[in-house]
Chains A and B, each alone.
Chain A
């Protein structure tokens, strides 16, 4: 069974393709990457996710060879890559701006890297044809970059960086320049291509939805550090910190103090509010500060107090964000705390049960929330 699931990071015998060992990068006084150690495995689709300035681009540029680590070592297939200049690395990069050569045709752009390897004409032609087919660009081979659409340009950039069959492909915000609809289609296309070619992809993005969709593992970065690197599902359901919980998706964070109870922690958070219950693997001392992170879709919203759940709070609807398929309710408790609850809109608008100013009950199970230290 373990063979059908792609989880080399859980396999102690798997050899990582990329190893960061205590890598630090400083620009003058500014520390862009702070002592990071982590591995990326072959055939992984690894996403570096974080706000701008968190160091994700620096990480990628060190892999490509445009920056050198100040301290520490980066290994590619067990070999230190520091002495290898970017033009000799078996690593290729897809640039955020695509960096397509404007004076060369689509065909020539894709052939550019192959020509540098002194391959024969036939080999080059065959490889370019293969790439054009892979990215469905056969019809545009003779066009110049300014004669094709944004989506097509993105595919040319991808084909060009894949043409040399790199061990590792770096993608710097590859979909940033596309509009929302096209971006979604392209995400699936990227995944298909990654799977077909079996290349290891490292993608840099600030778009959490994009990272969650395409990646096998997501590394959430903040201030030069990787806060959590895990599968999208675990990042979402089991964030290891308030930062990650808050950065990925919508969440309500309730700050309180924990007390060990029978099987679950009891959380008191505000005067006059009932105690909440949450199961947790993390150990808390009695009276220790804790944060309960709870996703809005795990919160039920009802008119009457439910009698099957221990976690139940009463409040007043402050805002309703209508998203079409879903509605998110912002409910204010008497303590001022706002809790978000989400419902699927399975019925038409006119028959919705709650509206502004309605008094409602919010409830969830003991396992729905995550108890975090900070």
Chain B
């Protein structure tokens, strides 16, 4: 297969190799979305080549802006005879025949070329819609500039990609999910499915429909799975996991999701008498009505659990199911998160409740499963959502997370991870055995955020100040005791020097001498064997 340059291609640029930016969009959870793509299909922007394999369409076209990427993709798709690789700027797509499906899972930011026009978000979407036939489907991702990943991010580095993009300052770019939907409607699209994506637009590990985010039955499950997905891998301002949990509690998870992925259909123009006005149809009908391909059912959520992609689907008779890749299903665990319950009991200083939560966890088969990955059902059963490790590591992880959550003041000083872990083990009714993290594991399970570091510093400063106060008290007490000892010894010396003490000593010495003499006489008088 050869690459077809369409104009505006970048000769020495690659989005796929990750040297000029974050690399291609990737993530196993995206595969089922790509599997729903049908008909003549266009994939635009850098997408992990492995994900292209999930696209079932025979007539597949891929557009990238860098020549090295185009060549790499041509090699990758060499055994797909219906595949075409285009290289260049998106504005050159206008001459291509229309597509049944357009996939833009990297959004619109990394389509434009240095050689082409600086396109706004709306202009780029308009270009993509223009190559979509009526009734055709667009799969579009959009980064949320108010997403959790940005709220916790340190100042970003400027990369080679940032030659002129307006990014979050693009006035055309819809800010917020509702405006994004409205923007797509304005572009002639009808949104058929929405997912919020975590932990980052570039590599989502969890896709959840907003309806599921609002479902209280799924709250504990989502808190655990989204929390795990958002575990920071680089230094952040604060641990995003807590922010995600708070957003879920406040019904703001979709609003603060790092990205949204929308499936939309191009609405077919109404062949009414008024006709198009200003180049755009005056009225629109749905793609399905215009003969579009029926959309395969998509799950409510796609999440990675224990290395497996698990889908959350509605049970036919009501309720929610977890469906594993092998087709096995099980009920989605309902209840409350173990860690969350422990925190609630701790901040209420309800130690009996803390112990009631810790004991079955540490005495049962899931002692090695992190508390943040366990759902406690209303029947008090524990449902693990992660594989078990060593119980000591799970308790230590809990200790670190409690401290990171700013709850050090609830626990005896010094409240460092090792000491708190021992206290938790004792509260769980187990024998506290001081142990270093196994196998050179880091002291904390996640990368600390700046907030957590500040909390650590404050705690250590407080403990140091307290240690100094204690030392001063010990010093005062030592002086006091030494004074008492000196006084007692002086008294003893005085008493031992009095006439009565001397007489007592003489009497004792005489008694000892008399006993020795009597013993000698007895030995001499008594017959020997």
Q: Do A and B come from one complex?
A: no
Contact surface of A with B, Cβ cutoff 8 Å: none
Contact surface of B with A, Cβ cutoff 8 Å: none
